[in-house]
């Protein structure tokens, strides 16, 4: 299917971007029966709706030569709920109308209003903005809507939800009755009907939701997990899919904050979007996602509205959406513009029925699967590593010289192993998941309470993943420094720059004394600062994980980049009492030399 006849300036703009076939919503707005009419279009972000209304209003905007005439006042107005969406719309219309010579003014909160006033005065033909800012300009006389030929309300449902009804009415009332009105909305609640009734005449309904190209390209998966394993399952999903950009949906801002902190702690480049973030924090987060400094976005439904991340290929519903419509709306962030996407619903065992019925009502066929386990992730890693490292390389003279030097001192196998380790070091460690059934979950919880570790104290040391901390050498170090045996160390939690571990309260004093005495003993790790921890680590309450056999290339302080949390009889998480509140003495280790 190709685009129907379009003005040359627009056809060229589309061709330059290789947009050779219209999306369903684009096709629908260009149909003969839609030409010139008011429209109510139900289309979601990702359906190509911006280009759709851009093409639809070309009729009101372009002269016979396919150019935008010089007008005394704006001819087209697009109102969008959020700053990001308005900027996005503005960017899309900019390339679409560049050859036609349109001048676009973007008016959004958080930008310099006097700069916007100047652009409006200098003859903008298309105005894109958010409701509040547009009404401001209108009231101050900077925005003249007397010549307006077409008004577009983008994500109209969202604007009404956000309480912008008054602003929208104020703006529309300032436009000529003869204008064309295009209403775009993901959902069609009653308020939208009322708006349509008041501001449109003989409007045409177009519904492309569900048939749009984005929808068909999403593979849905439902992943059942034990309720206490949700975070680990999310970590593993992110590691397994290794998406260029992924979005995680949570129901509340508290949950967003928590997930974000948890992911950062485990080494993911993640940003958060929720109601508690300021506009500038939001901008920074979005910029980080766009320029790939961050790959994971944790968001609430509201905060993620209007977000368009072109390379988003994974959506994870960390918390089950309220209803099928939200499920689809969240999932529709991926699988856009012809690309494939995956939407994963994390389903705690007790919520399975609820999710099944939600999927049925949305007519979504989801694959019910287990969360990817450690082995599956490591296998994927191997595939991806081979693919990445077997890409063709361009070798410069300087590189060749360096390669020769390396080859003179190391075997090719050693060099290849170093390369693999360097790549692998960038990847956060996958988690060990409990066997995926409620019974096994209960068993595992019981197992956490090992005799002797009912009452423990958290200590911490000033080395973490970044210093290659690993239980395999951390444990012997603790034994040497604290004069204890491996069996007297409880849970070990390795964070990015610190490691927490538990010692039974009964021997905590003895341990602390020994630490002071061995603090200067460099041969026995005396330069590592070890002290009582004022609090338990954030992930103290996580269920236990079994440690597998050591892996080639991962053992030892030098090469082991990440530890494997767990319980070789001596690294088992036990009890979760926070800090030692001993009355008798205050433990102060000798200051860390040189650190
Ligand atoms: P939207 O629904 O407006 O947020 O558009 C989603 C993405 O699809 C944008 O990046 C558009 O540039 C892109 N897009 C729009 N129309 C087409 C098309 N006909 N073919 C391919 N991509 C398109």
Q: Note whether 170 and 185 are within 8 A (CB).
A: no
The CA angle 578-579-580, to the nearest 5 degrees, is 135
Q: What residue's CA is closest to ligand 1, atom 11?
A: 48
Q: How far apart are CA 308 and CA 245, in angstroms?
A: 11
Residue 594 has pLDDT above 60, yes or no: no
259: helix, strand or coil: helix
Q: Which of 375, 372, 370 is nearest to 548 (CA)?
A: 375
Q: Give the count of beta carbons closer than 10 Å to the beta carbon of residue 299.
A: 25
Q: How far apart are CA 202 and CA 549, in angstroms?
A: 72
Confidence of residue 563 (pLDDT cuts 50, 70, 90): very low
Q: Looking at residue 573, what is its pLDDT?
A: 33
**DSSP bridge pairs for 502:** 458
Order across the sheet with 492-494: list the strands: 492-494, 499-504, 456-461, 530-532
> What is each CA distance from 348 to 65, 164, 231, 462, in whole angstroms?
60, 37, 11, 36
Q: How far apart are CA 568 and CA 566, in angstroms?
A: 6
Q: From ligand 1's centre to the CA of 288, what distance in Å?
A: 22
Q: How much is the average pLDDT of 473-497?
A: 87
Q: What residue's CA is closest to ligand 1, atom 9?
A: 48
Atom of ligand 1 nearest to the CA of 3: 19
Q: What residue's CA is closest to ligand 1, atom 17?
A: 48
Q: How far apart are CA 373 and CA 376, in angstroms?
A: 5
Kindly state the helix (H) or strand (E) to which residue 511 belongs, with its residue range: helix 505-517
Q: Give the count of beta carbons closer than 10 Å to the beta carbon of residue 408.
A: 7
> What is each CA distance from 262 to 427, 495, 562, 572, in whole angstroms?
15, 10, 16, 20
Instruction: Give percent of the chain with pLDDT exceeding 70.
Output: 85
Q: How far apart are CA 571 and CA 580, in angstroms?
A: 19
Residue 124 has pLDDT above 90, yes or no: yes
Question: The pTM is what?
Answer: 0.47
Q: Looking at residue 27, what is its pLDDT?
A: 92
Q: What residue's CA is closest to ligand 1, atom 18?
A: 19
Q: Looking at residue 564, what is its pLDDT?
A: 35
155: helix, strand or coil: coil
Residue 22 Cβ < 6 Å to ligand 1: yes
Q: Note whether 347 and 237 are within 8 A (CB).
A: no
Residue 308 Cβ < 6 Å to ligand 1: yes
Q: From ligand 1's centre to the CA of 22, what distance in Å?
A: 9
Q: How much is the average pLDDT of 338-367?
A: 86
Residue 154 Cβ < 6 Å to ligand 1: no
| Ligand 1 probe mutation, 50, 80, 154, most atoms within 8 A of CB | 50
393 or 446, higher pLDDT: 393
Q: From ligand 1's centre to the CA of 78, what distance in Å?
A: 17
472 or 581, higher pLDDT: 472
- Indicate the burial class of 67 (C-beta count within 10 angstroms; 0-12, 13-18, 19 or more): middle
Q: Note whether 315 and 247 are within 8 A (CB).
A: yes
The residue whose two tokens read 């944790």 is 298
Instruction: Give 40-73 as a DSSP string.
Output: EEE--TTSSHHHHHHHHTHHHH--TTS-PPP-SS
414-466 confidence digits (pLDDT tens)? 998 898 888 888 888 888 776 555 565 555 555 456 677 888 899 999 988 87
Q: Give the count of beta carbons closer than 10 Å to the beta carbon of residue 545.
A: 20
Confidence of residue 279 (pLDDT cuts 50, 70, 90): confident
Q: Note whether 8 and 66 are within 8 A (CB).
A: yes
Q: Which of 31-40, 266-275, 575-584 has the lowest mean pLDDT?
A: 575-584
347: helix, strand or coil: strand
Q: How far apart are CA 88 and CA 449, in angstroms?
A: 54
Q: Note whether 481 and 526 are within 8 A (CB).
A: yes
Taking every pair of Cα atoms in the chain, the longest distance, rounded to a whole number of angstroms, is 91
Q: Note whether 57 and 150 are within 8 A (CB).
A: yes
Kindly state the helix (H) or strand (E) to which residue 379 belongs, with its residue range: helix 374-389
Q: From ligand 1's centre to the CA of 485, what distance in Å?
A: 63
| Ligand 1 probe mutation, 2, 29, 49, 51, most atoms within 8 A of CB | 51
Q: Which of 82-86, 299-303, 586-590 has the lowest mean pLDDT?
A: 586-590
Q: What residue's CA is closest to ligand 1, atom 22?
A: 337
Q: Which of 208, 202, 156 is nearest to 180 (CA)?
A: 202
Residue 47 Cβ < 6 Å to ligand 1: yes
181: helix, strand or coil: strand
Strands 245-250 and 104-107, by their bridges, are unpaired
Residues 6+ apart with CB under 8 A from 121: 142
Q: How far apart are CA 490 and CA 566, in angstroms?
A: 10
Q: How far apart are CA 427 and CA 166, in angstroms?
A: 49
Q: Looking at residue 558, what is its pLDDT?
A: 34
Burial 353-368 (b: 16+ CB within 10 A, else e): eebeebbeebebebee
Q: How far apart are CA 306 and CA 413, in angstroms?
A: 49
Q: Which of 124, 20, 16, 7 is nearest to 62 (CA)?
A: 7
Q: Which of 36, 11, 101 is nearest to 62 (CA)?
A: 101
**DSSP bridge pairs for 465:** none
- Indicate the burial class of 293 (C-beta count within 10 angstroms; 0-12, 13-18, 19 or more): exposed
Residue 310 Cβ < 6 Å to ligand 1: yes
Q: Note whether 77 and 107 are within 8 A (CB).
A: no
Structure tokens given for 145:
């809507």
Q: Looking at residue 75, what is its pLDDT?
A: 96
**DSSP bridge pairs for 150:** 76, 180
Q: Note whether 277 and 286 are within 8 A (CB).
A: no
Q: Residues for the chain: how many in total?
A: 595
Structure tokens given for 215:
């929808």
Q: Looking at residue 95, what is its pLDDT?
A: 95
Q: How much is the average pLDDT of 534-539?
A: 79
Q: How much is the average pLDDT of 250-266?
A: 91
Q: What is the CA radius of gyration of the chain?
A: 30
């Amino acid at each position: 299917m190709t685009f129907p006849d379009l003005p040359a300036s627009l056809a060229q703009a589309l061709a330059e971007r290789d947009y050779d076939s219209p999306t369903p919503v684009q096709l629908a707005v260009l149909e003969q029966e839609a030409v010139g009419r008011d429209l109510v279009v139900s289309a979601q972000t990702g359906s190509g709706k911006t280009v759709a209304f851009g093409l639809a209003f070309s009729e009101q905007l372009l002269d016979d030569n396919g150019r935008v005439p010089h007008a005394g006042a704006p001819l087209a107005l697009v109102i969008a709920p959020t700053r990001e969406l308005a900027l996005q719309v503005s960017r899309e219309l900019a390339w679409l109308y560049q050859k036609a010579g349109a001048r676009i003014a973007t008016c959004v909160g958080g930008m310099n209003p006097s700069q916007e006033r100047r652009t409006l005065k200098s003859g903008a033909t298309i105005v894109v903005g958010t409701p509040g800012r547009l009404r401001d300009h209108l009231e101050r006389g900077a925005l003249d809507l007397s010549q307006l030929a077409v008004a577009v309300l983008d994500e109209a449902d969202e604007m009404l939800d956000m309480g912008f009804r008054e602003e929208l009415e104020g703006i529309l009332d300032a436009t000529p009755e003869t204008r064309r009105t295009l209403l775009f909305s993901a959902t069609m609640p009653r308020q939208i009907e009322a708006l349509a009734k008041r501001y449109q005449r003989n409007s045409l309904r177009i519904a492309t939701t569900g048939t749009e190209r984005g929808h068909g390209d999403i593979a849905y998966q439902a992943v059942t997990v034990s309720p206490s394993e949700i975070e680990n399952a999310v970590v593993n999903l992110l590691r397994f899919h290794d998406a260029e950009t992924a979005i995680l949906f949570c129901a509340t801002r508290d949950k967003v904050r928590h997930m974000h902190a948890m992911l950062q702690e485990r080494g993911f480049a993640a940003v958060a979007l929720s109601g508690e973030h300021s506009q500038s924090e939001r901008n920074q987060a979005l910029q980080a996602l766009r320029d790939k400094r961050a790959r994971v976005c944790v968001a609430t439904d509201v905060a993620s509205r209007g977000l368009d991340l072109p390379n988003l290929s994974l959506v994870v519903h960390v918390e089950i959406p309220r209803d099928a419509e939200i499920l689809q709306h969240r999932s529709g962030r991926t699988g856009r513009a012809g690309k494939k996407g995956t939407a994963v619903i994390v389903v705690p065992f007790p919520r399975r029925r609820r999710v099944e019925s939600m999927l049925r009502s949305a007519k979504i066929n989801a694959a019910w699967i287990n969360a990817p386990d450690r082995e599956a992730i490591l296998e994927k890693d191997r595939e991806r590593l081979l693919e990445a490292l077997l890409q063709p390389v361009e070798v410069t003279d300087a590189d060749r010289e360096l390669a020769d030097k390396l080859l003179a001192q190391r075997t090719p196998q050693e060099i290849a192993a170093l390369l693999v380790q360097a790549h692998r070091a960038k990847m956060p460690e996958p988690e060990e998941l409990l066997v995926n059934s409620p019974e096994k979950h209960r068993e595992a919880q019981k197992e956490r309470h090992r005799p002797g570790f009912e009452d423990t104290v958290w200590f911490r040391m000033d080395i973490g993943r970044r210093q290659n901390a690993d239980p395999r050498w951390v444990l012997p170090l603790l034994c040497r420094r604290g004069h204890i045996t491996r069996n007297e160390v409880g849970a070990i939690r390795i964070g990015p720059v610190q490691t927490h571990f538990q010692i039974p309260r009964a021997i905590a004093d003895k341990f602390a004394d020994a630490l002071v005495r061995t603090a200067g003993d460099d041969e026995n790790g005396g330069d590592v600062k070890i002290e009582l921890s004022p609090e338990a680590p954030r992930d103290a309450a996580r269920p236990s994980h079994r440690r597998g056999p050591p892996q080639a290339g991962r053992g030892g302080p030098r090469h082991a980049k990440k530890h494997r949390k767990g319980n070789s009889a001596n690294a088992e998480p036990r009890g979760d009492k926070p800090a030692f509140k001993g009355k008798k003495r205050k433990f102060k280790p000798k200051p860390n030399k040189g650190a």
